[in-house]
Each structure stands twice: as structure tokens, then as C-alpha cells.
Amino acid sequence: EAQVTQNPRYLITVTGKKLTVTCSQNMNHEYMSWYRQDPGLGLRQIYYSMNVEVTDKGDVPEGYKVSRKEKRNFPLILESPSPNQTSLYFCATLRTGGSDTQYFGPGTRLTVL
């Protein structure tokens, strides 16, 4: 079954404690990205990756890092989380050619106290 998985699904942490949200896909898609979704602001792209070892900033990259060492994984790293990073995070992959369909992971709800 084609899928995008994220872990953890829920996380409550404290300011300054480094954390990583993992994202993995089994569809062999080159393009992966991270979004955050906040009430009234919609989905905003944090970072994206067009292929292994290629990453670029999206619209709201401050406070986040990513890596793309292998095609299937695209972890999101918060080196020093702050309360304004409390949000719902989605990882997504893009199948290009034809319909350019984007597939989303189930989301990670992060609370930073």
C-alpha cells in the first residue's frame, strides 16, 4: 500500500529540547516537503526536497532543519523548539508527471510548552 508515514503522531515537549519528526514514503517519489498548518493561516510550506541531498527553503523555514540522505526519508528537525512552533505538521510527497498528485502523511500534532 502506497503511504507516507510520520512519527510521532502527537508530541508535547518543552522549549529548547531538540526533537525530530520522521517522515518516510514507500512510493519512490523524488519530491518531498514539510508543511505546518495553523488556524486561519492554512498550510504553509517549511522546506522541500527535490531529490536526495537537495533541499530548499519554503515559506516559513525559520527554526527548522531538514535532511534528505536517502530517497524515502525526510526528517524535520527542531533544534530548539519554541512555543510558536506549536502546530500541526504534515509531510508530503509529490508524484510528478501527469496529475502532479501530492500525498500527505497523517500529520504530527506538536505542542511546545
- The contact set with other proteins (CB under 8 A) reads 30-31, 35, 40-43, 45, 48, 50, 88, 90, 94, 96-102, 104-107, 109
Nearer to other proteins, 27 or 41 (CB): 41
User: How near is the Cβ of 43 to other proteins at its closest, in Å?
Assistant: 4
Q: Distance between alpha carbon 5 and the CA centroid of its chain, in Å?
A: 11
Residue with cell 531529490: 51
The separation between the first and the last C-alpha atoms of the chain, rounded to the nearest angstrom, is 36
Nearer to other proteins among residue 5 and residue 13 (C-beta): 5
Phi and psi, residue 83, nearest 5°: -55, -30
